[in-house]
């Protein structure tokens, strides 16, 4: 072992250092710049010598701060609202995707039915479709087809309680975005979970059936706990995509439902790019996925099925 240690070339360390710099560098740059004034950022002073300020964060969070920042006379940026939109959309779409995904994957693995292999393959093929291709038809459908008449019973009720004009359509609602995210992520989640469910020994399910479990009890009490690592991996994946997604959300959200990525881009106008605020919102945007990933990755324990059956 020590021999192998000695052989390690210093070139490897240089390579690792470069890779680390490439991945951490931009984040570091964003972090540093989020504490600078715009003047410092675009002033060309590349040095690390500047007066740190939380002004950018104050601007970003102006709609949820308990005091009014001195440098602002009007709170234009609704970061708080967008943040909550992002959370709602990402969490609900992740939850839905996992629930539907694990059941779908289970059915594809365990049940025999006509066209099973085709369905299994198609789920992955759908994943190959670029979201941009989806955008146009979905935009049309969400705006014109999937609507409730404002004169109708439910549509009328919604218009009465929430206000607004026109028919009640999917476009511009949380549900509209959640729906498309679920559809987008489901194939991959089903595909990932299939490989986890295959590993659950069939005899475990049989033992549970003999022990008196019905089909749902077998699924929830035996299979589901065993594919927890798979669920966690799928959850991280789904949450990250839903959280970062820009293209579809930009087309399907309206002023009240827009997510953080869209808010950030909206900060750029032809007259002014508020670099400092963008950096600050970027930093804030990064926090939930980090927390979510740390939490979910703790569920990824290898060897969950160890000791179930003799190999």
Partner 1 sequence: MPTIHLNNLIKRYGEVQVLHGVELELADNEFTVLVGPSGCGKSTTLRMVAGLEDVTEGEIFVDGKPVSHLEPKDRDLAMVFQDYALYPHMNVAQNISFALRLARRPKAEIDAKVKDVAATVGLTEFLHRKPGALSGGQRQRVAMARALAKDSSLFLFDEPLSNLDAKLRGQMRAELALMSQRVQKSMIYVTHDQIEAMTLADRIVVMNGGYVQQQGSPEELFKRPVNKFVAGFLGSPPMNFLSGEIQDRSGEIYITGQGFDLLIEGEKAQAARSHSDRTVTLGVRPSDLRFDEAAPKNKALSLDVTVSEYVGAQSVLLCQCGAANVMVELASETPVALGQTLNFAVNQNGVHLFDHQKETAL
8 Å CB contact between 250 and 262: yes
Q: Which is nearer to partner 1, 43 or 214 (CB)?
A: 214
Exposure string for 6-43, b = 16+ CB within 10 A, e = fewer: eeeeeeeeeeeeeeeeeeeeeeeeeeebbbbbbebbee
CB atoms within 10 A of CB 274: 20
Smallest separation (angstroms) from partner 1 to the CB of 200? 10
Q: Which is nearer to partner 1, 99 or 309 (CB)?
A: 309
DSSP 171: T
Q: Which is nearer to partner 1, 118 or 203 (CB)?
A: 203
Q: Which is nearer to partner 1, 47 or 303 (CB)?
A: 303
Q: Which is nearer to partner 1, 222 or 241 (CB)?
A: 222
Of residues 149, 148, 200, the one with CA closest to residue 176: 148
Smallest separation (angstroms) from partner 1 to the CB of 119? 22
Smallest separation (angstroms) from partner 1 to the CB of 207? 4
Smallest separation (angstroms) from partner 1 to the CB of 303? 7
Smallest separation (angstroms) from partner 1 to the CB of 310? 4
d(CA 240, CA 221): 28
> Could you tell me what percentage of the chain is helix, strand and coil, using 3-state DSSP and rounding each to the nearest 5?
65, 0, 30
Residue 243: is it exposed, middle or buried by C-beta count within 10 angstroms (0-12/13-18/19+)? buried
Residues that bind partner 1 (CB under 8 A): 201, 203-204, 206-214, 217, 222, 225-226, 303-310
């Amino acid at each position: 072992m020590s021999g192998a240690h000695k052989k390690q070339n210093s070139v490897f360390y240089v390579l690792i250092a470069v890779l680390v710099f490439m991945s951490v560098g931009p984040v570091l740059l964003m972090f540093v710049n989020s504490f600078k004034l715009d003047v410092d950022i675009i002033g060309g002073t590349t040095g690390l010598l500047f007066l740190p300020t939380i002004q950018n964060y104050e601007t970003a969070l102006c709609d949820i701060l308990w005091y009014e920042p001195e440098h602002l006379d009007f709170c234009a940026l609704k970061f708080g609202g967008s943040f909550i939109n992002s959370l709602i959309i990402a969490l609900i779409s992740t939850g839905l995707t996992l629930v539907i995904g694990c059941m779908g994957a289970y059915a594809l693995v365990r049940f025999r039915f006509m066209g099973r292999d085709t369905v299994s393959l198609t789920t992955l093929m759908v994943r190959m479709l670029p979201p941009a291709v989806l955008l146009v038809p979905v935009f049309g459908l969400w705006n014109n087809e999937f609507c409730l008449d404002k004169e109708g019973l439910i549509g009328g009720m919604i218009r009465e309680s929430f206000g607004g004009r026109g028919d009640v359509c999917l476009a511009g609602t949380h549900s509209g975005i959640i729906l498309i995210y679920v559809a987008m992520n489901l194939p991959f989640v089903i595909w990932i979970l299939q490989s986890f469910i295959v590993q659950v020994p069939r005899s475990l399910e049989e033992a549970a059936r003999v022990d008196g479990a019905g089909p749902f009890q077998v699924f929830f009490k035996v299979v589901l706990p065993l594919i927890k690592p798979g669920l966690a991996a799928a959850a991280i994946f789904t949450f990250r995509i839903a959280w970062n997604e820009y293209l579809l959300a930009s087309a399907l959200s309206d002023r009240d439902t827009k997510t953080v990525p869209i808010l950030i881009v909206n900060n750029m106008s032809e007259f002014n790019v508020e670099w400092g605020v963008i950096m600050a919102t970027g930093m804030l945007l990064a926090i939930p996925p980090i927390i979510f990933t740390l939490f979910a990755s703790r569920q990824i324990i290898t060897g969950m099925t160890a000791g179930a059956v003799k190999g």
